A and B are shown apart, each in its own frame.
Chain A
Amino acid sequence: MAERGGTSLDPWLHHYAARTAGLSASEVRALFAVASRPEVVSLAGGMPFVSALPQEFVMSALERTMRNHGAAALQYGSGQGTERLREHILDVMALEGISASIDNVVVTTGSQQAVDLVAKLFLDPGDVVLAEAPSYVGALGVFRSYEAEVVHIEVDDDGLVPEALQARIASVRAEGRRIKFLYTIPNFHNPAGVTLSAARRPEILAICRANDILILEDNPYGLLWFDHAAPDALRSIEEDGVIYLGSFSKTFAAGFRVGWALAPHAIREKLVLASESAILSPSVFSQTVIAEYLDAVDWRAQIDTFRGLYRERRDAMVTALDDFLPDIRHTHPGGGFFVWLDLPEELDSKAMLPRAVKELVAYTPGTAFFADGNGRQNIRLSFCYPSAEQIRVGVRRLATVLSAERELLETFRGTGDLRSRSNDQRTTTPPPDVV
Chain B
Amino acid sequence: MKIVVISGGISHERDISLRSGRRVADALADAGHEVHVLEPDPQLLSRIESLAPAAIVPMVHGASGEDGSLLALLELAGRPYLGSSAQSARLAWSKPAARDRIAECGVAVPEGFVLTRESFRELSAQSILQLLGSTVRFPLVVKPGSGGSSQGVSIVADATGLARALVEAFTYADVALCERWIPGNEVAVSVWRDEVGLRALPPVEIAPQDGIYDFEARYNAGETTFFIPARLEPTAIAALGDAAVRVHRELGLGDFSRVDFIVDDAGTPWFLEANVIPGFTETSLFPLALGGADLTLTEAFDRAVRAVTERAH
**Could you say which of A37, A414, A426 contacts B126, with CB atoms under 8 Å apart?**
A414
Contacts known (A418-B164, A424-B216); A6 close to B222, Cβ less than 8 A: no
CB distance from B16 to the nearest CB of A (A): 7
A34 and chain B: residue at smallest CB distance: B14
C-alpha gap A186/B285 in the complex (Å)? 48
**B201 to chain A: closest CB distance in Å?**
16
Q: Which residues of B contact A37 (CB under 8 A)?
A: 8, 10, 14, 41
- Docked pose: A426 CA to B219 CA in angstroms: 14
**Cα of A408 to Cα of B37 in the assembled complex, Å:** 39
B33 interface hit (Cβ, 8 Å): no
CB within 8 Å for A357 and B225 given contacts A33-B18, A351-B171: no
Decide: A7 near B16, CB < 8 A? Known: A351-B168, A351-B171, A352-B171: no
Nearest Cβ in chain B — how far from A31, in angstroms?
Answer: 5
Q: Confirm or deny: B85 has a beta carbon within 8 angstroms of a beta carbon on chain A.
A: no
Interface residues of A in 281-326 (CB under 8 A from B): none
In Å, the complex CA distance between A40 and B288 comes to: 34
Report how far A416 CA is from B10 CA in the complex, Å.
33
Max chain B CB contacts within 10 Å: which of A408, A412, A413, A424? Answer: A412
Known: A5-B227, A33-B18, A352-B171. A412 touches B222 (CB 8 A): no
0/1 interface trace, chain A 169-182, chain B, CB 8 Å (1 if under): 00000000000000
A360 to B11, CA, bound (A): 10
- Are the C-beta atoms of A357 and B12 separated by less than 8 Å? yes
A31-48 CB contacts (< 8 Å) to partner B: 31, 33-34, 37-40
From A9, A39, A413, name the one whose CB has the most chain B CB atoms within 10 angstroms: A9
Say yes or no: B171 contacts A357, CB within 8 Å.
no
A10 surroundings in chain B (CB, below 8 A): 221-222
Contact partner of A6 (CB less than 8 A), chosen from B126, B152, B215, B225, is B225
- The smallest beta-carbon distance between B148 and chain A, in angstroms, is 12
Is A39's CB under 8 angstroms from B10's CB?
yes
A residues less than 8 Å from B41 (CB atoms): 37-38
Q: Which of A24, A31, A355, A421 contacts B164 (CB 8 A)?
A: A421
Q: List CB contacts (< 8 Å) of B201-222 with chain A.
A: 205, 207, 214-216, 219-222
State whether A426 and B125 are in contact (beta carbons under 8 Å apart), knowing that A7-B228, A10-B222 are contacts in the complex: no
Measured CB to CB, the nearest residue on chain B to A414 is B126
Q: Which of B163, B220, B226, B283 contacts A412 (CB 8 A)?
A: B163
Query: Is the pair B216, A426 in contact by a Cβ cutoff of 8 Å?
Result: yes
| A415 lies within 8 A of B216 (CB) | no
Q: Report if B223 contacts A (CB, 8 A).
A: yes
A424 (CB) vs chain B CBs: closest residue: B216
Known interface pairs A34-B10, A411-B125; A418-B221 also in contact (CB < 8 Å): no
Residue of A nearest to B13 (CB): A30
Known: A31-B12, A412-B163, A421-B167. A26 touches B215 (CB 8 A): yes
- Cα–Cα distance between A422 and B150 once the two chains are bound (Å): 13
Partner of A33 from the list B14, B172, B216 (CB cut-off 8 Å) is: B14
Contact B222 A26 (CB under 8 A): no
Chain A nearest CB, measured from B93 CB (Å):
15
Contacting residues, chain B, for A40 (C-beta < 8 A):
10
> For residue A51, which residues in chain B have a CB less than 8 angstroms away from its CB?
none
Complex interface: chain A residues within 8 A of B282 (CB): 9
Q: Which residues of A, 392-424, contact B by the 8 Å Cβ criterion? A: 405, 407-409, 411-418, 421-422, 424
* Residue in chain A with minimal CB distance to B205: A6
Among residues of B, the one whose C-beta sits closest to the C-beta of A26 is B216
In whole Å, how far is A258's beta carbon from the nearest beta carbon of chain B? 30
CB distance from A348 to the nearest CB of B (A): 9
Q: Which chain B residues lie closer than 8 Å to A5 at the CB level?
A: 227, 231
Does the CB pair B129–A415 fall under 8 Å?
A: yes
CA distance in complex: A16, B130 (Å) = 49
Across-interface contacts of A411 in B (CB, < 8 A): 117, 120-121, 125
Cβ of A68 to closest chain B Cβ, rounded Å: 42
**Interface flag for A71 (CB, 8 Å):** no
Residues of chain B contacted by A352 (CB below 8 angstroms): 171
Q: Across the interface, do B12 and A412 meet the contact criterion of CB distance under 8 Å? A: no
A25 CB-CB contact with B under 8 Å = yes
Minimum C-beta distance from A86 to chain B (A): 40
Q: How far is the CB of B306 from chain A (nearest CB, A)?
A: 29
A421 to B160 Cα, complex, angstroms: 13
A424 partner residues in chain B, CB cutoff 8 A: 214, 216
Q: Is A8 an interface residue (CB 8 A)?
A: yes
Question: Chain A contacts of B18 at CB under 8 A?
Answer: 33
B257-274 interface with A by 8 A CB criterion: none
Bound together, the chains give a CA A424 to CA B153 distance in angstroms of 13
Please tell me if the beta carbons of A24 and B120 are within 8 angstroms of each other in the complex: no
Is the Cβ of A30 less than 8 Å from the Cβ of B215?
yes
Question: Is A27 interfacial (CB-CB < 8 Å)?
Answer: yes
A and B contact pairs by CB, cutoff 8 A, 21 listed: A5-B227, A8-B226, A9-B221, A13-B222, A25-B219, A27-B151, A27-B215, A30-B13, A33-B14, A33-B15, A37-B10, A38-B41, A39-B10, A351-B171, A354-B172, A357-B11, A358-B12, A408-B117, A411-B120, A413-B125, A415-B163
Residues of chain B touching chain A, judged by Cβ–Cβ distance below 8 Å, are: 8, 10-16, 18, 41, 117, 120-121, 125-126, 129, 149, 151-152, 160-164, 166-168, 170-172, 205, 207, 214-216, 219-228, 231, 282-283, 288
Known: A358-B11, A413-B125. 10 other contacts (CB 8 A): A30-B215, A33-B14, A34-B15, A351-B171, A354-B12, A412-B120, A415-B125, A416-B162, A416-B164, A421-B168
Going nearest first, the 5 A-B pairs with the smallest beta carbon separation are: A33-B15, A415-B163, A10-B221, A10-B222, A6-B225
